[in-house]
Amino acid sequence: MAIPEIRTVEVTRYVTPLREGGSLPAIVDADDDLPYVLKFRGAGQGKKALIAELIGGELARAIGMKVPELVFMNLDDSFAKTEPDEEIQDLLKFSVGLNLGLHYLSGAITYDPIVSVADEMEASKTVLLDTWITNVDRTFRNTNMLNWNRELWLIDHGASLYFHHAWTNWQANAEKLFPRIKDHVLLNRATQLDAALEEIQSKITRQTLEDIVAAIPEDWLWEDFDPVTPEERRNVYVEFLDIRRRKLDLLAKEAEDARQASI
């Protein structure tokens, strides 16, 4: 796998906020005449949420899951100057520069575990992905999946990789299991964990991880008053993901044990 080719577009119109999310993403139009859901660098979790979104989305794509196209989105300061809502105005002001967008899937519906489409292999790969990247936010309360054209699409990985909010213990966090997998909305459908594990192991190498992490803009890796360099941060992301890749069999067993306990 080569470094993902992620396009850069310019935001041309702020359409409407999506207020169901705490980070207040928005539907916007871009200069390629397509609509996107824009995730803002100035939101609560800042650039780290964008990094988690990028890594989680591209890793999901690499294991064969459907993910809306991710693009880098340039936002200029003109939008903040004309926005009447003070909360949104501040968000736009602090998000000038490079943000992340997901192609807006018009007509998609939020995944409903009772009626929505998700086959057993898709469910199993999603469960393994989320225990791998420590995604705490794919539960019955917040499924973060869509059905579009009767297909399952994964969205919103910004709550993943929570180790990066406290870098000092990243090695210990990489070695941990993920007990919160018991709350995963797809766990009961994940009956093909062994087959999913084999497929993921055949598709993902350390080089895959290096290529995905290499796509992170350097600007997102700088932290004010922090001497850690962007290159050092890239290395930590790769190491964290690779440690967990090598213990996916243990993570799969934990997920299977949790699934059996829920039956």
Are 138 and 257 in a shared domain?
yes
**For position 211, what pLDDT does the model report?**
97
Please indicate, yes or no, whether residues 132 and 258 belong to a single structural domain of this protein: yes
Residue 137 sits in the same domain as residue 44? no
Q: In this predicted structure, what is the pLDDT of residue 90?
A: 93
Q: Does one domain contain both 257 and 168?
A: yes
Are residue 121 and residue 249 in the same domain, yes or no?
A: yes
Q: How far apart are the C-alpha atoms of 234 and 128, rounded to whole Å?
A: 23
The answer to whether residues 81 and 132 belong to one domain is no
Of 55, 82, 103, the residue that ends a domain is 103
Q: Are residues 122 and 222 in the same domain?
A: yes
Burial class (CB in 10 A: 0-12, 13-18, 19+), 133: buried
Residue 251 lies in a domain: yes
* Domain finish residue from 103, 128, 155: 103
Pair 53, 134 in one domain: no
Range of 214's domain? 114-142+163-262
Tokens of 97: 């520069």
| 3 domain-assigned | no
DSSP the chain: -PPP---EEEEEEEEEE-TTSTT--EEEEETTS-EEEEEPTTSTTHHHHHHHHHHHHHHHHHTT---PPEEEEEE-THHHHH---HHHHHHHHTT-EEEEEEE--TT-EE--TTT----HHHHHHHHHHHHHTT----BSS---EEEETTEEEE---TT--GGGGSGGGHHHHHH---GGGGGBTTGGG---HHHHHHHHHHH--HHHHHHHHHTS-HHHH--TT----HHHHHHHHHHHHHHHHHTHHHHHHHHHHHHHHH-
**Domain-terminating residue out of 51, 75, 103:** 103
pLDDT value for 259: 97
Domain membership flag for residue 147: no
Residue 1 lies in a domain: no
- What local confidence, expressed as pLDDT, does residue 21 receive? 59
Same domain, 131 and 45: no
- Residue 157 placed within a domain: no
Structural domain count of the chain: 2
| Full-model pTM | 0.96
Same domain, 256 and 137: yes
Based on the fold, state whether residues 54 and 134 are members of the same structural domain.
Answer: no
Burial grade of 201 (CB within 10 A; 0-12, 13-18, 19 or more): middle
Q: Are residues 177 and 244 in the same domain?
A: yes
Residue 60 lies in a domain: yes
pLDDT at 159: 94
Residue numbers of the chain with a pLDDT score lower than 50:
none
